Structure 1
Amino acid sequence: MTTSPKARVCRLDLWINPVFDELITSQSQLTLQVLSRNTDDSATADALAETHAYHVSAAKDELPKRWFVDAKLIQACPQLLCVSAGGAGYDTVDVQACTEAGIAVVNQAGANANSVAEHTFALLLAVVKRIVESDNKLRHETGFSREDLMGDEIYGGTIGLIGLGAIGTCTARISKGFGLEVLAYDPLLSEDQIRLRGAEPVTLNALLQRSDYVSLHCPLQTETRHMMGAEQFAAMKPGSIFLSTARGGIHDEAALFASLKSGHLRGAGLDVWEVEPPRQESPLLSLPNVVASFHTAGVSHGGRRNVARSSANQIFSMLNGERPPHLLNPEVWERFLARRKAVLTAAV
């Protein structure tokens, strides 16, 4: 099957690797519109009302809420056939509302997995080796010894991964290279699947009790919001380290601060926050044993290029009637195909 002439693709004027525009515009069957993110811009609303495919930022604090793919926007976009979230996450898309409207939704799972896994270890090593503390002291203080900044080695330790999707699997592989025992908890995978991905399957409680380093790699959903709270931090080994390159809101920031302040946890490496960027007065940013970054784990040149390419290719596949590899609502597919045929035929 081929697309009807000039299926319309829209994205907002947020930064994206140029390969997205290049791939979309290289297809003679597609047209691309880059729209203003300004929430008062009626031209953006008018264009979205006529679009067939919408590439949407996955960053909830970057995208104005008016342009989230929710029931209200869907109602105003009767031609919308498919939505592509620009990352592994899809916080800005109501997948259930899309499914009810017959709209196919994809994410870019795995496209930036290597970048995020590498960043996880950058945070882990920065905390364990006390690199940021050392850098700050060398720049601003005198009269201290090397022993005052003594870190530790991670070889022979145990890392616990909560979530073993594409990113968790990459992290497991890197962990083995550092000589770590790898535990994993993922209720969506069987024990055999977890073992095939390079980890020992355990319960969440066992993972918390046994791990020297606990790293989050699961999506933010109703059932995972604040899944790491006071009780879970208390269950972690004294002196262990908490890491998250997943999504803000999965861990309770106040509970994490209390556990770090009390000395129960040795440190934390955090790339994600409830509000991004976090306020400079955030209690967690006041602690020297917290290494922080601004949700940049997947924002590498390679990662962003891979995400943009994946998104463009999946949009073209869907508009061409071909099932994409990262369909979030597979139950919608047959209805999507029927809508695609009707909508694109009418557009000729």
Structure 2
Amino acid sequence: MSATVFVTAPRLGQAGVRTLEDAGSRIIYLPDGGGRTEVEEIMASEAVDGVISRTVELSAAAIEASPRLRVISKHGVGVGNIDVDAATARGIPVFTTPGANAQSVAELTIALMFNAARRVSWMDAEIRAGRWSRAQDGRQLAGGTLGLVGAGQIGQRVARTAAATGMRVLAFDPGFGLDSPVPELAMVGSLEELLGQADVLSIHVPLSERTRGLIGAPQLALLPADAIVLNTARGEVIDEPALVEALRSGQLFAAGLDTTWSEPMEPGNPLLDCPNVVVTPHVGGSTPAALEAMALAAARNILGCLEGTPPDARSCVNPTTLSIERSNA
């Protein structure tokens, strides 16, 4: 098979590159610094069969400009940067790579939890500034309750680690109901029930119209006093001004965030003025191991679809297109 695969980034993990090249594919990359405009230009000028989408926007204009395009695979799970409606209108399936970066994201979640609970980043900054400021109000996590919003592969890994530290772990996820996917956590029947018990609240759901703004001021008010909020999913799931107010007022003890409303964060973002916040630049899935796994999974998604053997429909965000794809194969 000879196909052209466009990667909307300057590079791709070697596992993905080898898989595509072994199948005879031609790979083209987005140049360093390229954005939406450059993506649209490449899609219009090159005969692209498949796209591996990284973080740059894949717009309706880009999708419509590529008559040969047959499949899109997200290098990860969040498809907020892809115009899925435009792809669906053309019968183009959009796949994700669920689980490929789950361990790395889970590990960063745990790191943010410990950092926020013990104020590690704040004390480090104080020492570097010449002040021997010893935080006396750090939180011991053992004996507390971790509440997970979402019990997928990332949430399950977080649950295992947190349980090993002596935490009780609860989760709310309509997809599982009250049937726990792993023994380390117990499911609850509503978000409100979860919030009322969560000394630490951790977000692990994709961004959708249902989850956008899911955690706002009313939900934050249900948390126990001095709770910690973690978000390694998507920034828009939490009402950011409400989070800032809860942190400033002392309603929350701290927050650990890998995702925010605006990325990169603007210099005037009020979160940066909160000393009880630790922030990382959306790198949960950016370890070498996770990047290799996502590259390989994305390449397999592309090749499977082009070769007439689509991947598991559960990894397709617009599965109605799969019957169209099969009929055109």
TM-score, normalised to structure 1's length?
A: 0.87
Deviation at 1:224? 1.0
- Contact in 2 for aligned 1:133/1:149 (Cα 8 Å): no
User: Which runs of no fewer than 5 residues in structure 1 stay unpaired?
Assistant: 342-348
- Counterpart for residue 14 of structure 1: 10
In structure 2, which of residues 51, 56, 64 is the aligned counterpart of residue 54 of structure 1?
51
**More deviation in 234-243 or 167-176?**
167-176
Deviation at 1:306? 0.9
Give the 3 Å change call, closer, same or farther, for CA 232–112 of structure 1 in structure 2. Answer: same
Distance 1:141 1:265 in 2: 28
Alignment of 1:1-348 (within 5 A): 5-28=1-24, 30-36=25-31, 37=34, 39=37, 44-48=42-46, 50-57=47-54, 59=55, 63=56, 65=57, 68-70=58-60, 72-142=61-131, 144=133, 146=134, 148-194=135-181, 198-325=185-312, 326-339=315-328, 341=329
* Helix, strand or coil at the partner of 1:225: coil
- Contact in 2 for aligned 1:183/1:202 (Cα 8 Å): no
Deviation at 1:40? 5.4
Distance 1:55 1:240 in 2: 39
* Helix, strand or coil at the partner of 2:123: helix
Supply the AA of the counterpart residue of 1:218.
Answer: V
- Contact in 1 for aligned 2:264/2:281 (Cα 8 Å): yes
- Contact in 1 for aligned 2:9/2:29 (Cα 8 Å): yes
Residues 88-143 of structure 1: CA deviation (Å, up to 9, x unaligned)? 11112233332231111111111000000100010000011111121112111335
User: Which runs of no fewer than 5 residues in structure 2 stay unpaired?
Assistant: none
Residues 244-299 of structure 1: CA deviation (Å, up to 9, x unaligned)? 00001111111001011111100000110111111122111111110110001111
Deviation at 1:235? 1.2
Distance 1:280 1:273 in 2: 13
- Contact in 1 for aligned 2:169/2:184 (Cα 8 Å): no
Cα RMSD between the aligned structures? 2.0
* Helix, strand or coil at the partner of 1:210: coil
* Helix, strand or coil at the partner of 2:62: helix
Distance 1:108 1:274 in 2: 23
Distance 1:95 1:226 in 2: 20
Deviation at 1:194? 4.6
Supply the AA of the counterpart residue of 1:25.
Answer: E
Deviation at 1:17? 2.1
- Contact in 2 for aligned 1:212/1:237 (Cα 8 Å): yes
* Helix, strand or coil at the partner of 2:17: helix
Percent identical residues: 32
Runs of 4+ in structure 1 over 4 Å off: 40-43, 193-197
* Helix, strand or coil at the partner of 1:191: coil
Give the 3 Å change call, closer, same or farther, for CA 44–149 of structure 1 in structure 2. Answer: same
Residues 201-259 of structure 1: CA deviation (Å, up to 9, x unaligned)? 23101111101000000011111111111111111111100000000111111100101
